[in-house]
């Protein structure tokens, strides 16, 4: 039954998601042709302020566009969940011959799948266009990639990618949790959802601060000397940084787990449909 719920959810959300991601790909293609017609290396070498300013402005607009598309796709997922679970279509969902947990899990999996698809397309499009821009600027990407120290890859790039992926998945759980909390209010459900978002954000920031302080970051920064290795990296700093990153990942996972459990438990006690 879970597969049927998931299939139905995917079918219901594929149109708006396809439009959003198509716009991302289309804007990336436009950016590709724009960069292809520029002599980027010449602009940077001659310090042409006008051409560089235009290029920079368009680049910022592209990045902002990617951020907006990600936010809109996230809103589509949340609105779909709120409407079909506690909104105008809530009665239909709760009367389906399916277990409550199966219904919720199907919607959660749908949200996670689309969130991963959206972030992969956005990040992939940005990296592809950035790589093309750097090659036009005369940068040998092959040498740059192979010249990245293993410390950078192992302690910075891979953990940040892990943090990004886990954060994207957890955002779906948190969003559904906030909507579920919001439906507890007889009126002003949207306000209740927003308040829940703010509460989760505050809790997460406080937890992250505890991780940073407990990990010894501020104590390290107050040290008068830095002990670097032969490769130029301070192993103590790398250890502290790892503690902060993986500590933040742990915080996100705990909040996501609590959100998941709450999404299942709260409807057992009360369902307030429009």
Q: Give the C-alpha separation, 182 to 197, whole Å.
A: 10
Split into its structural domains, the chain has a count of 2
The residue whose two tokens read 């959003």 is 20
Residue pair 101/3 in contact (Cβ under 8 Å)? The answer is: no
Do 129 and 158 belong together in one domain?
no
Domain, as residue range, for 101: 1-140
Verdict on whether the full-model pTM lies above 0.85: no
Cβ neighbours of residue 144 under 8 Å, at least 6 residues apart?
134
Q: Summarize pLDDT for 118-152 with one digit per residue, the tens.
A: 999 999 999 999 988 888 888 787 777 777 777 77
Do 118 and 224 belong together in one domain?
no
Cβ neighbours of residue 51 under 8 Å, at least 6 residues apart?
38, 43
Do 132 and 266 belong together in one domain?
no
Tens digit of each residue's pLDDT, the chain (274 residues)? 788 888 888 888 999 999 999 999 999 999 999 888 888 777 777 766 787 888 889 889 999 999 999 999 999 999 999 888 887 777 777 677 778 888 888 999 999 999 999 999 999 999 999 988 888 888 787 777 777 777 777 778 888 888 889 999 999 999 999 999 988 887 788 899 999 999 999 999 999 888 888 766 666 656 655 554 445 566 666 777 778 888 889 999 999 999 999 998 888 877 766 6
Do 135 and 155 belong together in one domain?
no
Do 236 and 180 belong together in one domain?
yes
pLDDT at 234: 63
Do 80 and 114 belong together in one domain?
yes
Q: Give the C-alpha separation, 146 to 153, whole Å.
A: 11
Among 111, 140, 169, residue at a domain's last position: 140
Instruction: Annotate 194-255 with DSSP letters as a single string.
Output: HHHHHHHHHHHHHHHHHHHHHTTHHHHHT-S-----TTS--HHHHHHHHHHHHHHHHHHHHH
Q: Give the C-alpha separation, 243 to 223, whole Å.
A: 18
Q: Summarize pLDDT for 215-258 with one digit per residue, the tens.
A: 666 666 566 555 544 455 666 667 777 788 888 899 999 999 99
Do 9 and 135 belong together in one domain?
yes
Q: If you ran DSSP here, which 8-state letter would residue 147 be given?
A: T
Among 100, 121, 140, residue at a domain's last position: 140
């Amino acid at each position: 039954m879970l597969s049927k719920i998931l299939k139905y959810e995917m079918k219901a959300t594929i149109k708006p998601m396809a439009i959003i991601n198509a716009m991302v790909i289309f804007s990336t293609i436009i950016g590709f042709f724009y960069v292809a017609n520029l002599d980027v290396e010449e602009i940077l070498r001659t310090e042409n302020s006008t051409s560089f300013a235009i290029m920079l402005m368009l680049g910022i607009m592209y990045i902002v566009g990617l951020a907006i598309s990600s936010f809109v796709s996230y809103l589509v997922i949340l609105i779909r969940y709120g409407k079909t679970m506690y909104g105008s279509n809530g009665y239909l969902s709760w009367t389906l011959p399916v277990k409550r947990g199966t219904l919720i899990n199907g919607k959660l999996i749908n949200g996670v799948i689309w969130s991963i698809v959206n972030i992969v397309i956005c990040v992939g499009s940005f990296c592809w266009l950035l790589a093309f821009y750097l090659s036009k600027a005369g940068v040998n990407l092959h040498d740059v990639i192979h010249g990245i120290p293993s410390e950078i890859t192992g302690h910075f790039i891979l953990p940040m990618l892990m943090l990004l992926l886990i954060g994207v998945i957890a955002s779906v759980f948190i969003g559904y949790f906030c909507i579920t909390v919001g439906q507890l209010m007889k009126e002003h459900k949207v306000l209740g959802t927003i308040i829940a978002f703010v509460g989760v954000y505050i809790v997460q920031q406080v937890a992250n601060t505890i991780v940073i302080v407990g990990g010894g970051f501020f104590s390290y920064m107050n040290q008068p000397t830095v002990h670097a290795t032969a490769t130029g990296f301070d192993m103590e700093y790398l250890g502290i940084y790892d503690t902060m990153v993986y500590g933040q990942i742990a915080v996100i996972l705990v909040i996501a787990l609590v959100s998941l459990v709450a999404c299942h438990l709260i409807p057992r006690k009360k369902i307030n449909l429009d």
